[in-house]
Amino acid sequence: MNRRAFGLGLGALGLTLAGCGFAPVYGPDGAGGKLLGEVALPVPDGPLDYVFNRRFEERLGRAAPDGAYALRVAIATDEEALGGTSAGATTRYRIAGEARFTLIDPVTERILVSDATQAFTGYSATGSTVATLAARRAAEERLGVLLADQVVDLLVLTAPDLPA
């Protein structure tokens, strides 16, 4: 397929999607646009909260001082040993996390959205102590990103029902 035919195919796809009422979520008429730069986050209380906030702001931007919404988040984790050697040494860990969040109107304190999401990740403990600690930190960072992405996705899905 040449470039011209590919371009015409993309154009036809765009017309088809526009004809069915499809609009980009962050586009001019997209519901997610009202969240961009409008959700204030709590001050991070640890490395996982920091990763969560960083990823959240990568997706929706940093809130202006007079942002329309404030997010309250509580992240809990649980670590579980999964694999082991015949000598009893643990070789793999799973970290499960849950983010309970509430989106509020910062002026009235009215709850607009309240929900929770869960994710998990794992890491190997077969290397040196330093390698295991680095793997654990990387797993926690992945977990923070996963939870932030899921919270953003849930907020975008509820955005049409949020006050402007």
Task: Give the model confidence (pLDDT) of 112-142 as tens digits.
Answer: 999 999 999 999 998 899 999 999 999 999 9
Has this prediction a pTM greater than 0.85? no
Give pLDDT, residue 61.
95
What totals of helices (H) and strands (E) does the chain contain, helices first?
Answer: 3, 4
Q: Which amino acid is at 74?
A: A
Handedness of CA 130, 135, 139, 145 (dihedral sign): positive
Helix, strand, coil shares of the chain, percent, nearest 5, are: 40, 30, 30
Rg (CA), the chain: 21
Distance CA 87, CA 150 (A): 39
Write the pLDDT tens digit of every residue in 29-67: 666 788 999 999 999 999 999 999 999 999 999 998 788
A 10 A CB-CB count for 52 gives: 28
CATH number of the structural domain 31-161: 3.30.160.150
For the beta carbon of residue 2, count every other beta carbon within 10 angstroms.
Answer: 7
pLDDT band at 4 (very low <50, low <70, confident <90, very high): low
Query: Is the sign of the CA dihedral 23, 28, 31, 35 positive or negative?
Result: positive
Residue 90: strand pairing partners: 84
